């Protein structure tokens, strides 16, 4: 006789709120994937620029390379900031779930995470 399937705890309103918030955040993170692909292209372009060093004015090559490098740095800073916000949000969710589990807080209302 097969073992009975263990029953899962019931899904609570905080579970639903957390899933909804994660779904909304996931839409934002897909933009980060696009940015990462863009960063890969820019990094490759920066590397390839040096193949033209013997055919392009050093002044022009320097200016283009610097602009592209600064653009890459700006993109990375955006990613770092956004990823930190996502990490902070996840920590807040864990803290809230711990409080609920310990009986010290009510479930979050309306899915507000900030």
pLDDT at 39 over 70: yes
Tokens of 75: 């993109």
DSSP 48-106: HHGGGTTTS-HHHHHHHHHHHHHHHHHHHHHHHHHHHHHHHHHHHHHHHHHHHHHTSSP
CB 93 within 8 A of CB 20: no
Predicted confidence at residue 91, as pLDDT, reads 92
pTM as predicted: 0.54
Lowest mean pLDDT, pick from 61-65, 94-98, 99-103, 109-113 = 109-113
**Taking Cα atoms as reference points, which of 86, 81, 88, 72 lies closest to residue 36?**
72
pLDDT at 54 over 60: yes
Domain boundaries, the chain: 28-102
pLDDT for residue 81? 83
């Amino acid at each position: 006789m097969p073992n009975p399937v263990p029953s899962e705890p019931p899904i609570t309103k905080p579970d639903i709120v957390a899933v909804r918030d994660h779904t909304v955040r996931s839409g934002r993170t897909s933009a980060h994937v696009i940015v990462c692909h863009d960063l890969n292209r820019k990094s490759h372009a920066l590397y390839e620029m040096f193949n033209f060093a013997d055919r392009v004015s050093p002044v022009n090559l320097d200016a283009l390379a610097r602009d592209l490098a600064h653009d890459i740095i700006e993109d990375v800073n955006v990613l770092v900031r956004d990823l930190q916000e996502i990490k902070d949000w996840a920590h807040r969710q864990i803290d809230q779930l711990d409080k609920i589990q310990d009986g010290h807080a009510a479930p979050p209302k309306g899915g507000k995470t900030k």
